């Protein structure tokens, strides 16, 4: 008997074994991303001043030690979103874990429904 196939996202037809293999690889990659995100230093809170501290910078009278072209140039536009991504990597990984858990439950339920329909169809076509 041919294995049950389910269309994933309406595009990909996968078997249960193929789907579980894909989910195991995705889980391993998410765990790797989580380990990387936990190894990174805590994100800076420069954009949000604390309530207990004043909004004025503490280094008002300090001048840069080496004024030069490196201090006067601005960062490229793509650096801002990259910093945001790195700062929020833990939350992105957590959202991906939740998404994959919900998706896995739905898809495995769909596999069970198709297998039950196939079994019921096979039993009704058997001569008694």
Inside any domain, residue 28: yes
- CA atoms within 13 Å, Cβ hemisphere of 52: 0
Q: What pLDDT, on the 0 to 100 scale, is given for residue 94?
A: 94
- What global pTM score does this model have? 0.68
Q: What pLDDT, on the 0 to 100 scale, is given for residue 58?
A: 52
CA 79, 40, 88 angle in degrees (round to 5)?
55
Query: Does the structure show a pLDDT above 70 at 67?
Result: no
Inside any domain, residue 63: no
Inside any domain, residue 21: yes
Inside any domain, residue 60: no
For residue 29, give its domain range.
1-42+85-128
For residues 24 and 42, which has the higher predicted lDDT (pLDDT)?
24
Confidence of residue 49 (pLDDT cuts 50, 70, 90): very low
CB count within 10 Å of CB 116 equals 11
Give the residue-averaged pLDDT of 33-46: 80
Q: What pLDDT, on the 0 to 100 scale, is given for residue 95?
A: 96
Confidence of residue 48 (pLDDT cuts 50, 70, 90): very low
Inside any domain, residue 47: no
Looking at 29-38, 82-91, 109-118, which range is the least confident one?
Answer: 82-91
Inside any domain, residue 110: yes
Tally of structural domains, the chain = 1
């Amino acid at each position: 008997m041919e294995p049950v196939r389910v269309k994933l996202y309406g595009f990909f037809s996968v078997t249960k074994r193929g789907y579980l293999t894909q989910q195991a690889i995705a889980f391993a990659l998410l765990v790797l991303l989580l380990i990387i995100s936990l190894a990174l230093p805590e994100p800076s809170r420069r954009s949000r001043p604390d309530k207990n501290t004043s909004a004025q910078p503490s280094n008002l009278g300090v001048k840069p030690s080496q004024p030069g072209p490196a201090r006067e140039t601005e960062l490229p536009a793509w650096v801002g979103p990259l910093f945001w991504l790195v700062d929020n990597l833990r939350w992105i990984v957590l959202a991906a874990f939740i998404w994959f858990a919900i998706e896995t439950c739905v898809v495995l339920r769909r596999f069970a429904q198709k297998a039950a329909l196939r079994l019921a169809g096979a039993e009704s076509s058997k001569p008694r």
